DNA sequence: CTGAAAGCGCTTACAG
DNA sequence: CTGAAAGCGCTTACAG
């Protein structure tokens, strides 16, 4: 590898000056600057990042962490169908990080060089991140009971949580307005004339599930309708979970004209159940999803849904994190991003129902 | 941060000895070893990775690169529907890398500290990777015209290409047997009695598309059937591309009883077109896909497909790469992994066709 | 504007 | 078995 030493020699200056040119830290005579640039291109010099990091004591690296099952790796989570939505987030995060000149690390090697220590103990988990000079963490906390989450939230490592609210000395969060989004979805269905609306809130163990359920309840209450508990069907977040829950509901032959699903992936599972029962959408049943993943516009029929603003969430997460790393000590308050109704063909007003 | 200095002091030894205990490089008296471990746990010491890297001149980091559109970032590619398959690969790669104690970097920040250089010029692109001490690259080359691919294949950086064959002094590849897989798929359809089989080979500009087409042609020829060119429908790899191509084919009212799709995502697009034409699968038309992504078992009907062995591909890619980094100078030959027929409900024998 | 020197926190021959 | 010293390739006060 070409070193700054060689560049310096060729340009007839000291390594210090080469470094100054690289960083623009202090002014260098135009003339010498030119000589140095010439030497750099002549040799094909690239400053080595390890040395830069060693010297600056920083890595410009942020880690992406998914907490789902206690000891799983990151991608093993993200490939599950119910996490499909996060891929869109990841895409935008990568772009935003690139703008800000940070790298994204998917930590996969064991954190410790010696084996006496248990990686997953909350305390040593944080030490391990610090030892690796992770400057910030973007965390998706799904399994809220994982003790590493609290350890992270209370550590000194700047952290932004996506989708669930955590606060700490150096931690904040950003998420969609699930309550408001669910409310708007239900209002829209009410507006179309639907009165008996089934609700698949996802997993009510998680706040993100409960929030959607709450929006459903509030919208109904505010419009003056009573909720029929038999139409509320908790389930897991996966495609199959929703499919199964829908099959059960259909088997029971309940009376309803519309369905609110807590995610698009779930809606697509429900759609398949309806399909198997030869129930036409939206002629017989309307259905509305949540997220607006790209598959939604390709489902049969294309799905009406509440879009989460992935761009605002991702850019917000990154800029907040960068600010916490580089900027003032003030930790920004948790951010709530509003959702938007996207009307496609899976919803129709009750009056158009064909018998 | 706790340093080895502090540990050494507390244990009453030199930093050298602490280091020796950490690496097990040379023998240390049992007694002092114990004292040192005690000091480490007492202080919560974790060796800092930056210093380790600086000293060892290596990073234990491998980069994941997707070459698709000239200047795109990694995740912006992977979230496209036609790359959904690679998520399964990524999941296994992460696990294998973890085993081997390497980190996965998704390079996103600009490669250069100074702006005089164009990152995407093949030469400087390699220098940039070297400057970042990337020890190896896992590359998915889709846009084969990207000059960075050749630069990488001929560089000194150990590289394993997935899905397309590239060879170089320090580069090899691993991929599924697309020709063989396509052949087996067609043979299976022939066995079911189908004679007029439409083929959606994906994008024939790419070898991976052409290989599947070749398998189709060979299987037909070997069984003694002539190929009707009108049934071969090239298209892009995306869901919509296949959907559009299928709509066109259906509009033309061609005579065929089965379809071979080059990917599951394409098959799902075609399924939707068939659905819109109210054509029953498999009663009227059989369809077989390729890849076996998880969505395939959830499509309506569940898809018969050629499964790619993601585990063998991923583990093979990682172990080969690690071997090139750590081991002998011999570059392993390109590897071809066989595929496997997974029969589900989208295929049936022609005799069962209900008119 | 520029050079000599010290420093970042580790590791590893070299002695003893 | 263990310590003192040099080194990894940068950066940054400190002088001049």
The verdict on a CB contact (< 8 Å) between A79 and B97 is no
Lowest mean pLDDT among A236-245, B119-128, B134-143: B119-128
Mean pLDDT of the region A161-185:
94
Residues of A in contact with B104 (CB under 8 A): 105-106, 108
Question: Cβ–Cβ contacts within 10 Å for residue B116, how many?
Answer: 9
B182-204 exposure pattern, b = at least 16 Cβ within 10 A, e = fewer: bbbbbbbbbebebeebbbbbbbb
Mean pLDDT of the region A323-334:
86
pLDDT band for position B4 (cuts 50, 70, 90): very high
Interface subset of A 151-170, CB within 8 angstroms of B: none
The answer to whether the CB of A211 falls within 8 A of the CB of A202 is no
Residues in contact with A342: Cβ distance below 8 Å, sequence separation at least 6, in sequence order: A292, A304, A305, A306, A307
Alpha helices in B146-263 (DSSP H): 147-153, 178-191, 207-223, 239-251
Alpha helices in B100-177 (DSSP H): 122-131, 147-153
The verdict on a CB contact (< 8 Å) between B98 and A108 is yes
Distance from the Cα of A124 to chain B's closest Cα (Å) equals 7
Using one digit for the tens of pLDDT, what is the confidence trace for A140-163?
888 788 888 999 999 999 999 998
| Chain A to chain B Cβ contacts (< 8 Å) | 185
Determine the Cα–Cα distance for residues B300 and B281; give it in Å rounded to an integer.
9
Give B70's Cβ-side CA count (13 Å radius).
Answer: 6
Whether the CB of A29 is less than 7 Å away from nucleic strand C comes out as: yes
Q: Which of the two residues, B81 and B98, has the higher pLDDT score?
A: B98
The verdict on a CB contact (< 8 Å) between B133 and A49 is yes
Mean residue pLDDT of chain A comes to 89
Whether the CB of A17 is less than 7 Å away from nucleic strand C comes out as: yes
Smallest CA–C1' distance to D12, residue: A16
pLDDT band for position B73 (cuts 50, 70, 90): low
pLDDT for res B113: 46
pLDDT for res A78: 66
Backbone angles phi, psi at A281, to 5 degrees: -115, 125
Q: Which of the two residues, B208 and A184, has the higher pLDDT score?
A: A184
Dihedral sign for Cα atoms in the order A6, A11, A13, A15? negative
Looking at the partner chain, which of B23, B100, B239 has a beta carbon nearest the beta carbon of A298? Answer: B239
| Residue B125 pLDDT exceeds 90 | no
| Residue A210 pLDDT exceeds 50 | yes
Transcribe A227-279 into DSSP letters: --GGGB----SSHHHHHHHHHHHHHTT---SEEEESSHHHHHHHHHHHHHTT-
- pTM for the predicted model, two decimal places: 0.86
Mean pLDDT of the region B135-141:
92
User: Which long-range contacts link B221-226 to residues 24+ away (Cβ below 8 Å)?
Assistant: B223/B187, B223/B190, B225/B190, B225/B195
* Rg, Å, chain B Cα set: 26
pLDDT for res B355: 46
Question: Rounded to the nearest 10 degrees, what angle do helices A49-56 and B49-56 cross at?
Answer: 140
Residue B354, classed as helix, strand or coil, is coil
Mean pLDDT of the region A15-32:
89
Query: If we measure between CA atoms, which residue out of A173, A119, A134, A124 comes closest to residue A313?
Result: A173
| Residue A76 pLDDT exceeds 50 | yes
pLDDT for res A187: 98
Taking the Cβ of residue B91 and every Cβ of chain A, the question of whether any pair is shorter than 8 Å is answered with yes
Determine the Cα–Cα distance for residues B37 and B215; give it in Å rounded to an integer.
60
The answer to whether the CB of A166 falls within 8 A of the CB of A173 is yes
Whether the CB of B354 is less than 7 Å away from nucleic strand C comes out as: no
Q: Which nucleotide shows the minimum CA-to-C1' distance to residue A19?
A: D11
| Residue A14 pLDDT exceeds 60 | yes
Using one digit for the tens of pLDDT, what is the confidence trace for A256-302?
999 999 999 999 999 989 988 999 999 999 999 999 998 898 888 99
| Residue B328 pLDDT exceeds 80 | no
Whether the CB of B59 is less than 7 Å away from nucleic strand C comes out as: no
The verdict on a CB contact (< 8 Å) between B22 and A95 is no
Distance from the Cα of A17 to chain B's closest Cα (Å) equals 14
The verdict on a CB contact (< 8 Å) between B46 and A130 is yes
Interface subset of A 223-282, CB within 8 angstroms of B: 239-240, 243, 269, 272, 275-276
Mean pLDDT of the region B342-352:
90
Using one digit for the tens of pLDDT, what is the confidence trace for B174-187?
999 999 999 999 99
Residues of A in contact with B78 (CB under 8 A): 87, 91
| Residue A355 pLDDT exceeds 50 | no
Transcribe B266-292 into DSSP letters: HHHHHHHHHHHTT--TTTT-EEEEEE-
Q: Which of B298, B300, B311 would best serve as a mutation to test chain A binding (most A beta carbons within 10 A)?
A: B298
CA B302 to chain CA centroid, Å, is 24
pLDDT for res A86: 84
CA of A109 to C1' of D10 (A): 26
What percent of chain A stands above pLDDT 90? 60
Using one digit for the tens of pLDDT, what is the confidence trace for B263-315?
999 999 999 899 889 999 999 999 999 999 988 988 889 999 999 999 999 99
Residues of A in contact with B53 (CB under 8 A): 50, 53-54
pLDDT for res A108: 67
Residues in contact with A184: Cβ distance below 8 Å, sequence separation at least 6, in sequence order: A215, A219, A306, A339, A341
Determine the Cα–Cα distance for residues A331 and B63; give it in Å rounded to an integer.
32
Q: Which of the two residues, A133 and B355, has the higher pLDDT score?
A: A133
pLDDT band for position A83 (cuts 50, 70, 90): confident
Taking the Cβ of residue A91 and every Cβ of chain B, the question of whether any pair is shorter than 8 Å is answered with yes
Nearest-by-CA chain A residue for B20: A114
Mean pLDDT of the region A19-34:
88
The verdict on a CB contact (< 8 Å) between A104 and B103 is no
pLDDT for res B250: 98
| Residue A77 pLDDT exceeds 80 | no
pLDDT band for position A113 (cuts 50, 70, 90): very low
pLDDT for res B112: 45
Question: Cβ–Cβ contacts within 10 Å for residue B315, how many?
Answer: 18
pLDDT band for position B79 (cuts 50, 70, 90): low
The answer to whether the CB of A17 falls within 8 A of the CB of A28 is yes
CA distances from A73 to A65, A68, A238, B196 (A): 9, 9, 19, 46
Determine the Cα–Cα distance for residues A234 and B238; give it in Å rounded to an integer.
33
pLDDT for res A71: 64
Q: Virtual CA dihedral for A313, A88, A165, A112, nearest 10 degrees?
A: -120
Q: Which nucleotide shows the minimum CA-to-C1' distance to residue A20?
A: D11
CA distances from A251 to A74, A225, A244 (A): 37, 25, 11
CA of A159 to C1' of C6 (A): 34
Determine the Cα–Cα distance for residues A73 and B323; give it in Å rounded to an integer.
23
Taken as a whole, chain A contains a residue count of 355
| Residue B148 pLDDT exceeds 80 | yes
The answer to whether the CB of B122 falls within 8 A of the CB of B148 is yes
The answer to whether the CB of B263 falls within 8 A of the CB of B243 is no
Q: Which of A60, A61, A75 would best serve as a mutation to test chain B binding (most B beta carbons within 10 A)?
A: A75
Dihedral sign for Cα atoms in the order A29, A51, B97, B163? positive
Name B residues 24-53 whose Cβ lies under 7 Å from strand C: 25, 47-48, 50-52
Question: Rounded to the nearest 10 degrees, what angle do helices A310-326 and A84-99 cross at?
Answer: 50
pLDDT for res A112: 45
The answer to whether the CB of A63 falls within 8 A of the CB of A107 is yes
Backbone angles phi, psi at A140, to 5 degrees: -110, 110
């Amino acid at each position: 590898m070409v070193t700054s030493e060689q560049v310096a020699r060729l340009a007839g200056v000291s390594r210090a000056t080469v470094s100054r040119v690289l960083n623009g830290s202090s002014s260098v005579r135009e003339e010498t600057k030119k000589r140095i640039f010439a030497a750099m291109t002549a040799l094909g010099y690239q400053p080595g990042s390890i040395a830069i990091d060693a010297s600056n004591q920083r890595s410009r690296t942020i880690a992406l962490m998914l907490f789902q099952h206690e000891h799983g790796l990151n991608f093993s989570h993200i490939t599950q169908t119910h996490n499909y939505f996060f891929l869109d987030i990841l895409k935008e995060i990568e772009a935003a990080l690139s703008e800000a000149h940070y790298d994204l690390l998917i930590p996969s090697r064991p954190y410790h060089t010696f084996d006496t220590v248990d990686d997953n103990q909350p305390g040593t988990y944080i030490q391990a991140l610090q030892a690796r000079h992770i400057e910030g963490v973007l965390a998706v906390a799904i399994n809220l009971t994982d003790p590493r989450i609290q350890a992270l939230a209370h550590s000194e490592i700047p952290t932004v949580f996506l989708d669930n609210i955590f606060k700490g000395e150096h931690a904040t969060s950003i998420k969609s307005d699930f309550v408001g989004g669910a409310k708007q979805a239900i209002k829209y269905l009410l507006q179309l004339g639907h009165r008996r609306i089934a609700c698949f809130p996802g997993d009510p163990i998680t706040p993100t599930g409960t929030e959607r359920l709450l929006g459903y309840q509030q919208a109904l209450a505010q419009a003056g309708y009573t909720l029929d508990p038999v139409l509320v069907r908790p389930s897991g977040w996966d495609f199959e979970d929703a499919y199964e829950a829908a099959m059960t509901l259909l088997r029971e032959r309940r009376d309803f004209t519309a369905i609110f699903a807590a995610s698009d992936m779930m809606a697509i599972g429900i759609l398949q159940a309806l399909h198997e029962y030869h129930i036409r959408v939206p002629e017989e049943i309307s259905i509305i999803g949540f997220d607006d993943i790209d598959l939604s516009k390709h489902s049969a029929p294309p799905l009406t849904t509440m879009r989460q603003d992935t761009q605002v969430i991702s850019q917000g997460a990154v800029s907040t994190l960068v600010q916490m790393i580089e900027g003032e000590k003030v930790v920004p308050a948790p951010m709530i991003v509003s959702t938007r109704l996207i009307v496609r063909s899976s919803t129709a007003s009750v009056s158009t129902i064909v018998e």
